[in-house]
Amino acid sequence: MMPYTALNFQEDSKASKLNKSLSHYAKELTGTLGLTHIMSLSQNQSRLSMRLARTPSGPTLTFKIQQFSLSKNVRKVQRRPFDVNSTNITSNPPIVVTNNFGDVTASPHVKLMRITFQNMFPALNVATVKLSDCKRVVLFNFLRREDDEEGVNTNGQAEEDEEVEVRHYAIRATPVGVNKKVRRIIQAKIPNLSKLEDISDYITGM
């Protein structure tokens, strides 16, 4: 959700004892903070849930979280781990991709999910956006299973008839159609040329 996120917002300890609902925060607090959406995570003994609320008067989408991965777990399996904290990757909003949500003939609840996911992030102007600002992609992938495709996931839970996969990618622009040495120079990874008379010697491998 970065960079347009109330990252330092904290619930008042006194107010928390009053069991304020999500609708209370959507109506009373978002006007002063300028928030358009609220994401709430809650857990009990049977399930982990996520709610997305459009302020100030809804709608609110409720999801049961089947499984998730932490960023530290993702980095462990990466060949070249990407540290999001070492770059300004969150200085610009991500590109939002919604997949398999259908067209105008889709069910009303599917349309509502697609519109909500898209409106959670600012729209990008293709004509003016800079390629250097495109550093992340958020993918919402809608899965619909037939009645005869029942099964269990990796956590041993029964799979739902409809699910939404959410994936967050870090991307970088790299030149294509050029050899490795030219690509390094374009990406400002200047090699040691002290023993060469001309840069062409580096390109041709002489």
106-126: per-residue pLDDT in tens?
A: 889 999 999 999 999 988 888
Cβ–Cβ < 8 Å for 30, 55? yes
Closest by CA to 23, choosing from 64, 63, 61, 56, is 56
The pLDDT of residue 154 is 58
pTM of the model: 0.73
Which residues, other chains included, contact 7 with Cβ-Cβ below 8 Å and sequence gap of 6+? none
The pLDDT of residue 175 is 64
> CB atoms < 10 A from the CB of 199, how many?
13
Phi then psi for residue 137, to 5 deg, are -135, 130
If phi > 0 it is left, if psi is from -120 to 50 it is alpha, else beta; for residue 90 that is alpha
The pLDDT of residue 11 is 65
Q: Quick one: 147 exposed, middle or buried, by C-beta within 10 A (0-12, 13-18, 19+)?
A: exposed
How confident is the prediction for the chain on average, in pLDDT? Answer: 78
The confidence band for 4, taking pLDDT boundaries of 50, 70 and 90, is confident
42-56: per-residue pLDDT in tens?
A: 888 888 999 888 888
The residue-averaged pLDDT of 19-45 equals 76
Angstrom distance (rounded) from CA 202 to CA 182? 9
Closest by CA to 48, choosing from 68, 29, 34, 28, is 68
User: Which residue reads 């003994």 in tokens?
Assistant: 45
The confidence band for 65, taking pLDDT boundaries of 50, 70 and 90, is very high
145-187: per-residue pLDDT in tens?
A: 776 555 555 555 555 688 999 998 888 777 667 667 666 666 6
The pLDDT of residue 110 is 92
Which element (helix H / strand E) includes 43? strand 37-43
Residue 14 has pLDDT above 90, yes or no: no
Cis amide prior to 93 (ω within 30 degrees): no
| DSSP H helices in the chain | 13-16, 22-28, 30-33, 71-77, 108-119, 180-186, 199-204
The residue-averaged pLDDT of 82-95 equals 77
The pLDDT of residue 117 is 92
The pLDDT of residue 98 is 93
